[in-house]
Amino acid sequence: MAVNNELFKGTLQTIILNLLAEHHRMYGYEITQKVKAITQGELLLKEGALYPALHKLEAEGLLETSTEVVDNRLRKYYSLSQEGEKEVVNKLQEARDFIQNLQLLLNLKPSF
């Protein structure tokens, strides 16, 4: 069952920050594939949603970038800045609180 994109959008920044916290640095395409692999294809992170979120996080100073030559082309890597490392903790806590409240509101039982 594919997940509704509207539900996905609100947590996109948290997902990106958490992925970068776990993998140190990643490039755009790698992030889309990682989301697809972790969710076994349930969530598809499209370029149209990924890049605006990445560049917004970079503009806010939460991400840093570096460019390297890979396979005869330039590749831009994203990683967490010091500010981003602090923010990821807050964002994850916000997401946990939100999920807890959602479970209460919709009478859902956690599956774990």
In the complex, least distance from residue 106 CB atom to another protein, rounded to whole angstroms: 31
Which range binds another protein by CB under 8 A, 8-16, 21-29, 34-42, 89-97? 21-29
Q: Which residues, numbered 75-104, are part of the site for another protein (CB under 8 A)?
A: 75-76
Size of the site for another protein (CB under 8 A): 26
16 token code pair? 């990106």
Q: How far apart are CA 16 and CA 110, in angstroms?
A: 24
Largest pairwise CA distance in the chain: 53
Residue of 37, 32, 40 lying closest to 12 (CA atoms): 32
Q: Does position 54 bind another protein by CB under 8 A?
A: yes
28 in contact with another protein (CB under 8 A):
yes
Query: Is residue 58 at the binding interface for another protein, with CB under 8 A as the rule?
Result: yes
The first and second tokens of residue 64, run together, are 């840093």
- What the block records as the tokens of 51 is 């890049």
Among 23, 55, 86, 96, the residue binding another protein under the rule CB under 8 A is 55
